[in-house]
Amino acid sequence: MEKQEKIKLMEEVMDLEEGTLSESDTLSSYEEWDSLSVLAFMSVLTSKFQKNVLPKDIKNLVTVSDALNLME
Amino acid sequence: MNPFQLNEKNVIVTGAASGIGRETAKLLYSLGANCILLDINEKGLEETNRLIDKSGICCALDLTDFDRFQEVFSLCKEKLGYFHGMVHCAGIPSFSPLRGLTVEAYEKVQKINTQAGLLLAKVFSRKGMYDSSKRCSIVFISSVYGLVGSASNVAYAVTKAANIGMTKALAMELAPKGIRVNCVAPGFVKTPLGEGVIKFLDDAYAERVGAMHPLGWGEPTDIACAIAFLLSDAAKWITGTVLSVDGGFTAQ
């Protein structure tokens, strides 16, 4: 999956408008990065990338780039 | 004769490798049934079969491999004879808010929780598969979440609500064949699936879930007892029903 496609997926996960996120953004600077976003991201990781990650591991992510690195 | 007994009944149990499926197989065996145990987990099946004195027929089957259902049923029928009951216990959870729901996740939960049950019922109810000279019964598993709303759970809820619709439609369609169709709607039960969901989330969630059940968490045997009842002749005038077994969850 292309990087731009992954960013679009993160925007969907965080319920943000398309074109909002940049790789260098800090996740915690968005109020939308909440427990529902964490749950949504975990679901995407499992179903699209066959990765089972725990909520505490997701909460340790700092930047959007960190999240994209998990999407492989 | 005790109407709760299941002597000489050949019953197919999906999801038999663990949780509600395993407990159901154990109870049905103790009530006299011959069990056909289906699950993708071969080791789990062997363990369940050990618990029922190796009396069952085990078949490792991926329930999304729909094309194999006829072949598997035919092989089991050759060994045991006509079927009298089937219970579709296999199921998987799907925890995600709508925005995290993917086509892949939806299709997977839908295939196992609902579509497999429907296609298994199709094979079960074919002429020459079920015992047309006796009363037969199919039991599906729904959930409290097929009856009441819950956030971040839509895909699972869709499948469990679908199982209720499937139960009622098939009850009407299969009544002329003497096949009853019912479903059980469990609350949270201490199974690998239920506990996995809790582990996936957090301890506070586990406490909230416990508080939603006036009688506390359920045990797999609570659900197995309801299934055994619906499979037995004690329920011979019951079809198309949803039996809530939820410690009072939906009484509120």
- Reported as a single tens digit per residue, the pLDDT across B19-47 is 999 999 999 999 999 999 999 999 999 99
Q: Over 80: is that where the pLDDT of B194 sits?
A: no
B60 forms beta bridges with B39
Number of domains composing chain A: 1
List CB contacts of B109: < 8 A, sequence separation 6 or more. Answer: B92, B93, B94, B155, B156, B159
Tell which residue, B44, B40, B37, B32, has the closest CA to residue B7. Answer: B32
Lookup: tokens for B14: 């999906």
- Smallest CA–CA distance from A49 into chain B, residue: B104
Nearest to A39 among B97, B104, B105 (CB): B97
Question: Per the domain annotation, does B2 fall within a domain?
Answer: no
Residue B24 is predicted with a pLDDT of 98
Question: Per the domain annotation, does B252 fall within a domain?
Answer: no
Pairing status of strand B136-141 against strand B85-88: parallel
Q: Is A39 on the interface with B (CB under 8 A)?
A: yes
Question: Per the domain annotation, does B20 fall within a domain?
Answer: yes
Mean pLDDT of B137-165: 96
CATH number at residue B99: 3.40.50.720
Q: How far apart are CA B249 and CA B135, in angstroms?
A: 32
Mean pLDDT of A11-31: 96
Q: Which residue range is the domain that position B108 belongs to?
A: 10-240
Question: Per the domain annotation, does B127 fall within a domain?
Answer: yes
Residue B95 is predicted with a pLDDT of 87
Percent above pLDDT 90 for chain B: 88
Yes or no, beta carbons of A47 and B108 under 8 Å apart: yes
Q: How far apart are CA B63 and CA B117, in angstroms?
A: 9
> Which pLDDT band, with edges at 50, 70 and 90, does B238 fall under?
very high
> Which pLDDT band, with edges at 50, 70 and 90, does B201 fall under?
low
Q: Which residue range is the domain that position A15 belongs to?
A: 3-70
Around B248, how many Cα atoms within 13 Å sit in the side-chain half-sphere? 9
Number of domains composing chain B: 1
Question: Per the domain annotation, does B245 fall within a domain?
Answer: no
Q: Are B32 and B7 in contact (CB under 8 A)?
A: yes
Residue A55 is predicted with a pLDDT of 80
Nearest to A43 among B95, B201, B202 (CB): B95
Residue B81 is predicted with a pLDDT of 97
Q: Over 80: is that where the pLDDT of B248 sits?
A: yes
SS3 per residue for chain B: CCCCCCCCCEEEEECCCCHHHHHHHHHHHHCCCEEEEEECCHHHHHHHHHHCCCCCEEEECCCCCHHHHHHHHHHHHHHHCCECEEEECCCCCCCECHHHCCHHHHHHHHHHHHHHHHHHHHHHCCCCCECCCCCEEEEEECCHHHCCCCCCEHHHHHHHHHHHHHHHHHHHHHHHHCEEEEEEEECCECCHHHHHHHHHCCHHHHHHHHHCCCCCCECHHHHHHHHHHHHCHHHCCCCCCEEEECCCHHHC
Q: Is pTM, for the whole model, over 0.90?
A: yes
Q: Over 90: is that where the pLDDT of A1 sits?
A: no
> Which pLDDT band, with edges at 50, 70 and 90, does B199 fall under?
low
Q: Is B104 on the interface with A (CB under 8 A)?
A: yes
ipTM confidence: 0.88
DSSP SS3 for A26: strand
Residue B29 is predicted with a pLDDT of 97
Mean pLDDT of B167-192: 95
Question: Per the domain annotation, does B214 fall within a domain?
Answer: yes
Yes or no, beta carbons of B99 and A15 under 8 Å apart: yes
Residue B75 is predicted with a pLDDT of 96
* pLDDT tens for each residue of B42-93: 999 999 999 999 999 999 999 999 999 999 999 999 999 999 999 999 999 9
Question: Per the domain annotation, does B182 fall within a domain?
Answer: yes
Question: Per the domain annotation, does B249 fall within a domain?
Answer: no
CATH number at residue A60: 1.10.1200.10
Residue B200 is predicted with a pLDDT of 63
Q: How far apart are CA B148 and CA B249, in angstroms?
A: 10
Nearest to A47 among B99, B104, B200 (CB): B104
> Which pLDDT band, with edges at 50, 70 and 90, does B154 fall under?
very high
Q: Are B95 and A44 in contact (CB under 8 A)?
A: no
Return the active site residues of B: 156
Q: Over 70: is that where the pLDDT of B197 sits?
A: no
Lookup: tokens for B250: 């939906």
Average pLDDT over chain B, rounded to an integer? 95
- A3, containing H or E segment: helix A3-13
φ and ψ at residue B234, rounded to 5 degrees: -60, -20
Mean pLDDT of B148-168: 96
